[in-house]
Structures are given as C-alpha cells and as structure tokens.
Structure 1
C-alpha cells in the first residue's frame, strides 16, 4: 500500500492511539492502528486519560488485541466525508483539560502586538507592522524569555511607549497558558471547525499538541488547530475566552502518537509544521510552515509552567505549544490581510504525525455541542 499522507511517514512503526465513533450505544471507542488496520483496544483500556497515565502505555498499545473495525484508509475517508459516516475519528483526547500556550514564537509575538494596537482593524495592521519592526529592530527569536537581555528590551520598549501585554508573555519570565476548550468539546480529523459569527478577521493556528499525564509527563503528541479570532482578541486581551473557546473552535488529531524508541520529544523539537488553506468559493490558496526549532520556550518549560505545585491536572491535559503562523497575505483586498471564508479547507501536517484536515464554517451554523461528561460517563457505565 502506498503511503497515505494523512498518516505519519513511518506509520508502520508508530504507536498511534485514537478515539472512534462507531455509531452504536457503546459510545467512543479507543483504537490503535497496526498493519494498516484499525483495532478496537477497548477491552484493554477505553479511557484515553487512563491510558496516558500508565507507565506501560506504549507496551499495552503494542500488545493489545481486539476486533478490527476497518482499515485505516476507510476510517480516514469516512471521517473526511460530510456528513461523516461511521466509523469515523473523534478528537483523540477525552476527559483531559485542553490548554494552550500563546506568543511562543517571535513572529506571532509581533502579530499579537499588532492586533492589540490595531484594536481589531486589519487595515491598520500593515502600518503598525512596519512601525514596530523599525522600532524593535534585531531578531526577537534570539531573545531568551526572562533573560537579562529580554528584561532590558522590555524596559526600553516601556520607555518608548511601545510596551504591550503580549511582549510581557513573549519575552518576560511567565508564559501565556490558557484554557482553549472544554473536555470532550474538541473536533477530530475531518470535522468542521467553527468561527464565532461576530468575527470578521480570523485564522487557523497550526500547532503541535502534547499529551501530558496527570504527573506532568509528556507521553505523546498530536496536531491541533487553535482557531483564532484576531479582531476579537485584538479589541481586548480580556476577550481571550470569546476569541478562543466557541462551538467547534478546537481541532486535534488525527491520532496521538505515543513516545517510544521511534518517536520522542526530540522529534517534536525539530518538527516542521506545514499549513495549507484552500478556499472553496474563491480558489484561494495559502501555504506556510512553522519550524519548531524557532520556538522561544522549550516544550518542557511550557509543560512545567502549566502543571506543578501551583496547579494539578488529575486527568492529565493536552497542551497546544503555540504557532509562528500569523497570516498577513491579503485575501479580499489590499491592506485587509487574511481571513477565513466559509468552506475553507485547512490542512495541518508534519511528517512524523501525519495530517489534520478540517473545513471551516460559523460556530452557530454547526451542530451544537451536546456530548458532555454526563453522557460520556453513561457510555462508560454501559460498557462495564
């Protein structure tokens, strides 16, 4: 079988785990992929948070047996259909908290400052971009957050009246860590993602997402789309919740790849994450990439700023590591920058994790989120 770009390039060696909707009363089912077959491993473990908390998670998945649901190409094809048919992929996480880090790349730092000072206006953004680049100078990516050089730059920017709360989290000692979405609310591979209907300036944010155990140990990684509303967050950082957490505004998938002898945090640190946006109605195409080697805070430091003596996550968490992608390409007219159109297809990919593909619509036009903790618990009880 030829390689399916939606899977890791070395998928025959990859320990992939995910959640599948089979369309029956059992609810979501945990699966792995082995020899291109999707295997139901729910007899061994059926709660992703439980699996990721096990010291022997990789061994358990490698040895787990169960019925074959379908081949993996069929699962991906089913998931990409609209409406989806069963079996299809869900987001690979279940009861974990879904956290995200912002302003972890120098390029995105500048764009967050521009959003804030433009007060949500894409027309003003181009002028501000030039002004700030001339004012700051140098290469922000070389600044170590919290270092003496970073604090000296902070003081200089304050003196010039150019300081921003985004600069504080970009080069200051404390990372921005926020709640992206509620447990069980994320969309999976092939599903539609949503934009708040009030937003007129928005974009995808392609990111690597760490799967972290309740002990604060990263145990695997996936891909994510931290859908972003630039105009709403730009009006005020206090609107971050409205800008980030809406119906279908978070996507994770297609699978979680567990760390093992073939895949480690080193692969995350050196990943190149690509993005492609394809317009449905205007033949628009945008391609870009994020190099994880340019991140200003290490993945381990972001994890430690999220969990520790100051905060615990008894069910573990998924952690978006941030993006350097902030599109400035004009789509609808000169000086207007990029924004989504309904029907856009977004593909986020990296060779060791495969591809996460979603289409875009308004949050209020998509199916409401109804599957929460109580229904999930009821499904788990029916399995016992």
Structure 2
C-alpha cells in the first residue's frame, strides 16, 4: 500500500513534505519518484485546489526530484526534526472540519458513550439495553425523512433519545472544527492523546478536499482521534475531546479527482484499520463508506455555502463506521489506546496512513502556523 508502493499508476497524487533549510513544499508522485512541484503560481495546496483542473496541472507540472517514495517514507518517523525531509499533512491553509455520527452503527456507540457518561465499566450493560431497543431499526434510514421521525418518536418513548441520534437521523449533520490550519500531522508522525483521557480510540475516515467554491477536488485518509470519556461526559467538551496537539492525522496524499477516480470511488471506499500495541495486542477494524447515512456531497454542502464561506477551502472528515468494542484489557471495557500503539489506516485507492500514538504533551509542539508559512513563502520568492 502507499506510501510504500504505488499500486495504482493511474492515480494523480499530491501531498506536502518538509525540506530541510527550505520549508514546506508541494509534491506529486511519479512511479516511486517524489517530485517537488512548488511554484510561484501554485505555492500551496490551497492554491492548487483553487484551479479548475488541478489533476491536469499536477500531471503536467515540471519539478525537482526529491528521491524515492520509499526513502521518504522511511525518513518520516515520529521524532523527525526540521533537519530531515519528511511527510506533512497534505492540507495547509484549509480549515479542518469533521462530521460526526454519519453511520447508524457507530451512532449507537455514541449513544452508549453518552449514557455511560465516560465510564467504560458501564458501557457493556448500556450497550445491551440500547441494542435491545434499537436493533437494526436505524440501518438504511434516511436522515430527516418521515421514517426517521417515526423512529425518533419510538426512541423518545423508550427514554433512549440522544443528541447523537438527533444529528444522526435528524435533518442537520454534525459538523465541527477538528483542527486548526497547519496543525494536522502527516504520515509517520506521532498522533496525540490528551493526558486526561483514559478511554479513547482511533477513527479511520475518508477526508475530502474542498475548495473555496465548495467543489470537492479529491480525497485522502484521516485519523480523527477521539477521547470517548471526555466527549461522553458532555458534548460541550467536544473541542477538548477532538482538538489537541497532534490529535489529527491526514495523508499521505490527496488523490485528485480525474477520469480514473471520483465521488463514485469515495462512496464505495472500504477502509481497513489495524492497531498494533507494544503489549502484543492487535485490533483489526473496518469502515465501509457504502453504509454512510449521508452523502458526502450533502455533508460538504452543509459545511460550506451562503451560510458559511471558507475562502481557503477546507478538508472534511466524513465520519466512520468503526466501533471500538473489542475488549483489550478487561471484559466489557472495550478498546482504549496505549502509548506506543501503531495505527495503520488503509484503502486501496488512497494508500496507507500510519502513525504512532503518544500523549499530546509528548508529541512535538505545533509551532509552524500561518504567519510562519507566509514569511517562509515570501522569503523563497513564492508570494
């Protein structure tokens, strides 16, 4: 899988790397060769996605060879510094947004989190009760439909209605800010857990790249790291549960839409998750986009429009089917991360995103923000 092997020669891939003594650069992949295509006309990912046809631009772009993809992947370790070339998250100036509760099966787990109020010991008991009442009644339901509203009435009568069900089957999607521009980490980097959390998990997701006009230009992989205990205590703690140092991983590349890849492939994507712990524990998970309750284009439209503009575009996490219920330590407590876990998220069209779990306080601090990027580009004569 990518980034180690380009299994699909038709793919138009674009990403970002850090080059020592230069800074962030826009790259594409040609075979196993990494090409720097940064230019004064297109110095950032934001500028690339604003083009009418970014895929054609990337295929035709003249650039500088940076060596092999295999070498770049090996260099992109979790503790690399500015003196080593390494992957960055492919987004730069874009807002990083995320949609929650977009799959019926994972929606049930959110209800359990809320009912358990962050207590993993109570989760199994509540899981059995909720599934007994709900069963498969949410499978295939269209959010906001008359059928959904009838289900809502039944659940309210059973005392099981939840704010998560409201955004899961109601008319309005949950869209929140996952990370600040330029704060996401890329392939190989450490991914962070806030140290207050004792119950947390990865969330393997498709991330779509959207420009300022609301046009979806491509897709990539993401890990929307989630603190189940923090969010479970109160939905008002969503920001604390989601947006922390190194808690958002994206990459390795954006696959641009072209004749060989588009929304049809996004909507049928099959994601594979593997977590390998230093304790020998292995978790295998899966998320199928065929089971999403809301169309990706609708999620993008609910994010950006006359009601809200994004002049630099945005990257949008689409949610996950994965429910972390496999027990790791004690029966009924489900899964939680341990420091040192290696998380691999892969999809045949998009490659592999791999990161190692650390505490956010132990991950490298985020210091390169928008002002630093502007000064860097200006110093290189790219603005």
TM-score normalised by L of structure 2: 0.97
**1:227-238 → structure 2 map (5 Å cutoff):** 227-238=225-236
Corresponding residue for residue 200 of structure 2:
202
Q: Distance in 1 between matches of 2:364 and 2:152?
A: 45
How far apart are 1:155 and its partner, in Å?
A: 1.4
**1:113-132 → structure 2 map (5 Å cutoff):** 113-132=111-130
How far apart are 1:56 and its partner, in Å?
A: 2.4
RMSD, aligned CA: 1.3
1:287 paired with 2:288, answer: no
Query: Which deviates more from structure 2 when the two are superposed, residues 35-44 or residues 331-340?
Result: 35-44
Q: Structure 2 stretches of 5 or more lacking a match? A: none
- 1:241 is aligned, of 239, 242, 248, to 239
Corresponding residue for residue 30 of structure 1:
26
Q: Distance in 2 between matches of 1:301 and 1:330?
A: 35
**1:148-297 → structure 2 map (5 Å cutoff):** 148-280=146-278, 282-297=279-294
Q: Distance in 2 between matches of 1:111 and 1:250?
A: 21
For the 8 Å contact 2:4–2:70, the answer to whether it is kept is no
Q: Distance in 1 between matches of 2:183 and 2:146?
A: 41
How far apart are 1:137 and its partner, in Å?
A: 2.7
For the 8 Å contact 2:95–2:310, the answer to whether it is kept is yes
Corresponding residue for residue 372 of structure 1:
369
For the 8 Å contact 1:105–1:296, the answer to whether it is kept is yes
Q: Distance in 2 between matches of 1:160 and 1:56?
A: 52
Which secondary structure state, in structure 2, belongs to the residue aligned with residue 349 of structure 1?
strand
- 1:60 is aligned, of 57, 65, 86, to 57
For the 8 Å contact 1:226–1:249, the answer to whether it is kept is yes
For the 8 Å contact 1:7–1:355, the answer to whether it is kept is no
Q: Distance in 2 between matches of 1:83 and 1:89?
A: 10
Structure 1 segments of 4+ aligned residues over 2 angstroms from their partners: 3-9, 80-86
Query: Which deviates more from structure 2 when the two are superposed, residues 74-83 or residues 172-181?
Result: 74-83
Q: Distance in 2 between matches of 1:137 and 1:345?
A: 33
Corresponding residue for residue 72 of structure 2:
75
Q: Distance in 1 between matches of 2:2 and 2:80?
A: 22
For the 8 Å contact 2:4–2:69, the answer to whether it is kept is no
CA separation of 1:339/1:48 partners in 2, compared to 1, >3 Å: closer, same or farther? same
How far apart are 1:46 and its partner, in Å?
A: 1.6
How far apart are 1:63 and its partner, in Å?
A: 0.4
For the 8 Å contact 2:80–2:86, the answer to whether it is kept is no
Question: Could you list the per-position Cα deviations for residues 264-307 of structure 1 after superposition, in whole angstroms to 9, with x for gaps in the alignment?
Answer: 11011111000000001x10001111110000001011011101
Which secondary structure state, in structure 1, belongs to the residue aligned with residue 322 of structure 2?
coil
Question: Could you list the per-position Cα deviations for residues 325-379 of structure 1 after superposition, in whole angstroms to 9, with x for gaps in the alignment?
Answer: 1211111111221100000000000000000000001001111111111111100
For the 8 Å contact 2:106–2:321, the answer to whether it is kept is yes
Question: Could you list the per-position Cα deviations for residues 11-44 of structure 1 after superposition, in whole angstroms to 9, with x for gaps in the alignment?
Answer: x2111111111111x3101111113211111125
CA separation of 1:182/1:27 partners in 2, compared to 1, >3 Å: closer, same or farther? same
How far apart are 1:83 and its partner, in Å?
A: 3.2
Q: Distance in 1 between matches of 2:332 and 2:51?
A: 51
Which secondary structure state, in structure 2, belongs to the residue aligned with residue 111 of structure 1?
helix
Query: Which deviates more from structure 2 when the two are superposed, residues 71-80 or residues 47-56?
Result: 71-80
Q: Distance in 2 between matches of 1:367 and 1:5?
A: 22
How far apart are 1:81 and its partner, in Å?
A: 6.0
Corresponding residue for residue 363 of structure 1:
360
Which secondary structure state, in structure 1, belongs to the residue aligned with residue 264 of structure 2?
helix
Report the count of equivalent residues. Answer: 379
CA separation of 1:200/1:320 partners in 2, compared to 1, >3 Å: closer, same or farther? same
Which secondary structure state, in structure 1, belongs to the residue aligned with residue 344 of structure 2?
strand
Q: Distance in 2 between matches of 1:270 and 1:138?
A: 21
- 2:325 is aligned, of 324, 328, 352, to 328
Q: Distance in 1 between matches of 2:331 and 2:266?
A: 37
For the 8 Å contact 1:7–1:353, the answer to whether it is kept is no
TM-score normalised by L of structure 1: 0.96
Q: Structure 1 stretches of 5 or more lacking a match? A: none
